[in-house]
Amino acid sequence: MSVLLNINNLSKSYSLKDLFKNISFSVFKNDRIGLIGPNGSGKSTLLKILANLETADEGAVTRKRSLKIAYIPQNVSYKNSSIKDVLLHSLKNENLTEYDENLLVDKWLNKVGFTDPSIDASKLSGGWQKRLSLAEAFILSPDLLLLDEPTNHLDLESLLWFEKFLHKKVLNFILVSHDRYFLQNSCNKIIEISDAYPNHIFVSDGSYLDFLKKKEAFLQGQIKQEKSLSTKARREDEWLKQGVKARRTKSKSRIDEAHEIFEKLSDLKKRNENKKAKIDFISTDRGTKKLITLKAISKSMNGKELFKNLSFMLSPKTRIGLIGPNGSGKTTLLKLIAEEIIPDSGTIKKADNLKIVYFDQLRRKLDDNLTLKEALCPSGEFVTFQNKKIHVNSWCQRFLFSKDSLNLKIKKLSGGEKARINIAHLLLEPADVLLLDEPTNDLDIQTLDALEESLLEFNGAIVLITHDRFLIDRVCNSIISLGNKDSITIFSDYAQFEASRKKVISSKKEKSKHKKNDSNIKKITYSEKKEYEDIENNIPKLEQEISNLNTLLNQKDVIENKDRLAEVCRELASLENEIERLYIRWNELDRKA
């Protein structure tokens, strides 16, 4: 196998915080790598080092000679410029003719789904910006693609398109993602950066499910190793406690070996410590069965009708997932339930004194100049959680922050660490209904697991917008698909929704195929119309002649006359060939007619 990259003993830290230490792995041709790990473990920084945008503190990256790398950051934005000009600008150093440049640009705009090259790039949605950034990367024909959280802010349709695109177009990539379905469907190797491993890294060939099995086996083996080492450590500790006089008769090497065992055990205990964010939503546990009832709700925004006659009810333990393309009204529906806006028609009836907690991702932007302590605990040294006062030191550890990091500025934290602060704010308010708009962006897989478990245990109702199919599948017991205002469908689970989606796509393809076939048929001409009418008149005459010849074949005088029999057979064969030709031609003309 051809090696594209060698990463050897790479280390990187910011201030006093180690991101990763002495990690080593190789990237081979045809590797489609999913890079995962806890928030703050340095995944994004590692991609930047591989892309030559940052330098490591220690270690080396060896690249194959003439290796061309394209890097797509987590967040992309464009100035006022047409999408065609954006791609032309990316080709400025490629020494191509104007004709070849335009040919390449048109090719890649078409491949990623753009139909109008004059569209203003600055006005594109997040999903279409991601498509443009892909075109920017691919137009340079890279040998290796580096993608940082490529699925963030994509709606489900864009996400599925992106999965398909990667599968068809990209041979070698490393991508950072916490989307478990996406990792399973797109990657053939998983690399996890984590202090749970002796070399701070775990490399697994195969799918994401293969990785989970191998990881579990490795960690179980490490736990067994800890138990075995604990037994040895107890024995050595007892020996050391026998006193100075007894130890003098023992060898110095035995004492050194005992201390080495203690160090190994301490290291194993740290690695085996299962660090998981503690997420507990506070439910009011009210007994009301009908929390919110929406009846025949309709809403338009900026002249566009989003949905009409939408009806459903929220009861305790109802967990609804909202699915639909960007602009289909998912966030608008949450705002209607939260009474931030009012419907055009229909009614929303709520139980008395209902407590709604609304997680609006856009509104939860944190001030970068705050310290972690100020962000987690704005009122001082304590927060009130479940009617108890909790000190900020304990509160920060609940969300996997160390006490030493309380004075860190927010701008020094990763996207996932900032997301955990937002989750911490959310937990402080008791609720009957949780409205969650994309709460999972940037969260690592361990925190996602904790979030899912907490949502499953929450006794109130939940309405959830997310592109994370794993979370929808695990948490939601009802799915509302928006996007088609005339036919809003409610599904029992994600599998039912996916089956319906594939059926619609198949139906559209079939219709498109028929339409294409029909469009290839030209209108019938005057002469063809005359031919069509003549064939219709001639076919019955020929059928009668064939019938007459078949009658002759049964007559005794024909059967006994060899020459006459051969003549009748020749005529019959000729007429049957002629009538078959006429039927074929009649079908062609009939389709035109």
Kindly report the pTM of this predicted structure: 0.73
CB 56 within 8 A of CB 11: yes
For residue 247, pLDDT over 70 is answered with: no
C-alpha 492/C-alpha 490 separation (Å) is: 7
Place of tokens 């690399």: 191
Look at residue 30 in the predicted model and tell me its pLDDT.
Answer: 92
Look at residue 364 in the predicted model and tell me its pLDDT.
Answer: 62
Q: What is the pLDDT of residues 262-280, one digit of tens each?
A: 787 787 788 878 777 778 7
Beta partners for residue 421, in sequence order: none
CA angle 241, 247, 253 (to 5 degrees): 110
Region of poorest pLDDT, from 2-11, 337-346, 387-396, 574-583? 574-583
> How many CA atoms, within 13 angstroms, populate the side-chain half-sphere of residue 64?
15
C-alpha 174/C-alpha 176 separation (Å) is: 7
Taking the CA atoms of the chain, what radius of gyration do you get in angstroms? 34
C-alpha 126/C-alpha 75 separation (Å) is: 9
Q: What is the pLDDT of residues 433-459, one digit of tens each?
A: 999 988 887 788 888 888 898 889 888
Region of poorest pLDDT, from 206-210, 379-383, 460-464, 515-519? 515-519
pLDDT band at 69 (very low <50, low <70, confident <90, very high): very high
Task: For residue 222, give both structure tokens.
Answer: 């490490």
Q: For the residues 488-507, what does the mean pLDDT come to?
A: 81
The more confident residue out of 241 and 544 is 544
- 3-class state of residue 355 by DSSP: coil
C-alpha 53/C-alpha 497 separation (Å) is: 42
Length of the chain: 593
C-alpha 530/C-alpha 540 separation (Å) is: 17
